[in-house]
Amino acid sequence: MPLIFITGGVRSGKSHFAEQAAMQQYQAQFNTAKRLIYLASGLAVDREMEKRIHRHQADRQAQPIQWLTVEAPYAIAEVFETLQDGDVVLWDCVTTWLTNAFYEGYDSGTPCVQRPGCLENKLQVVKQAIQSLLKKNMTFFVVSNELFDEPPYNSDEVELYRRTLGQFHQWFVAMAQEAYEMNDGIVKRWK
């Protein structure tokens, strides 16, 4: 299975680039591709995120190809298990899923980031699920945000998030057949 990793800053054009690439892949495999799947990890926790989610949904609905959208803000590994040979899949995005993983359990008193081993376990489960996907005959596009050009924060939690995301990005690039970075709508292929 080809894994294509795409990163870039907020509003850099990475989601649009990934959607276009996934649709082209789906059309190229028209006789053999089963489904064009969008795995959405975003949660509408504020007005800005709600607008972004609606904009992404409208963009997909305006396309001539029908996407199957699966909301997966938390248990993404379980969704990975449902993917089949022939699927063309776009996961948007790693950073929103990781934020959700960090704070899952917050409403009941203790977020995952504060429970020993919780975050490490979630990451390991996702990595194992992706490694299983690599054995399938499908195409998997992964989108994530680039947060590493900003200066360090005075928050240990934010720095832990950035460090965790950076390590996850490195893992994705090592697993990927192709890796791209978007800046201001310009794509740079790194791998």
Q: Extract the annotated binding site for GTP.
A: 8-15, 40-42, 71, 92
Give all strands (DSSP E) within the chain, no chain letters: 3-8, 36-40, 68-71, 88-92, 139-145, 178-183, 186-189
- Annotated catalytic residues are 56
CB burial of residue 38 (10 Å; 0-12, 13-18, 19+): buried
Q: Between the CA atoms of 12, 14, 20 and 25, what dihedral angle is there, to the nearest 10 degrees?
A: 160
Three-state secondary structure call for residue 75 = coil
Q: What residue type is 6 in one-letter code?
A: I
